[in-house]
Amino acid sequence: MIEVKVDSVRVNLVGTHRVVILKELHSERYLPIWIGQAEAESITLQLTNTKVPRPLTHDLIVDAIRALGATVRYVLVNDLRDETFYARIVLRTRDGKDLSIDSRPSDAIAIAVRVGCSIYVDDDVMAQHGHEPEEESTEEQQEEDLGAFKDFLSTLDLDDLDKK
């Protein structure tokens, strides 16, 4: 399991879908997950500490978990099948028993940001679907990239410059 944090929630201007970017805690690798508008709003409102007059659905779920004496241990994005991500919410009951509940990642994340628990991604899911940001180019690569200009420069006869 790889621990991640919510890096950002991004808006697709042509559709109603949103993308939540989960970034690995100790690396630059990230995992984008498409989520619905309502869930994205719920995550965003919580991350921006926006007070809402009435409890949203995820606030209600967190209230219920707490009222029943349970806690959220962590959430885990554990699978991707047929282009759909799967997640689990791991609860610890009042009696100290752990329960793993099937959830969409969006709901799991909306709950995680409210209770402040860890968010994990399964190693295989991250290995197969995580993205690395574009590498900063090294000096060698930069020289290669400049090849065309170098070639041009070497064709110039600079000795001629002063002559007229």
Point out which residues bind another protein (CB under 8 A).
Answer: 36-39, 53-55, 57-58, 60-61, 63-65, 67-68, 70, 84, 86, 89, 91, 93, 99, 101-104, 107
Tell me how far CA of residue 126 lies from CA of 17, 26, 57, 101, 162, in angstroms: 22, 13, 29, 21, 61
Closest approach, Cβ 133 to another protein, in A, equals: 29
CB of 136 to another protein, least distance (A): 38
CB closer to another protein, 99 vs 153: 99
Half-sphere exposure of 161 (CA within 13 A, CB side): 4
The smaller minimum CB distance to another protein, of residues 54 and 164, is found at 54
Query: CB 106 → another protein: shortest distance, Å?
Result: 8
**Cα(64)–Cα(36) distance, integer angstroms:** 23
> Would you say 108 or 126 has its CB closer to another protein?
108
Cβ closer to another protein: 101 or 117? 101
CB of 27 to another protein, least distance (A): 28
User: Are 57 and 45 within 8 A, CB to CB?
Assistant: no
Please, are residues 34 and 21 in contact by the beta-carbon 8 Å criterion?
A: no
Report the C-alpha gap between 154 and 58 in whole angstroms. Answer: 66
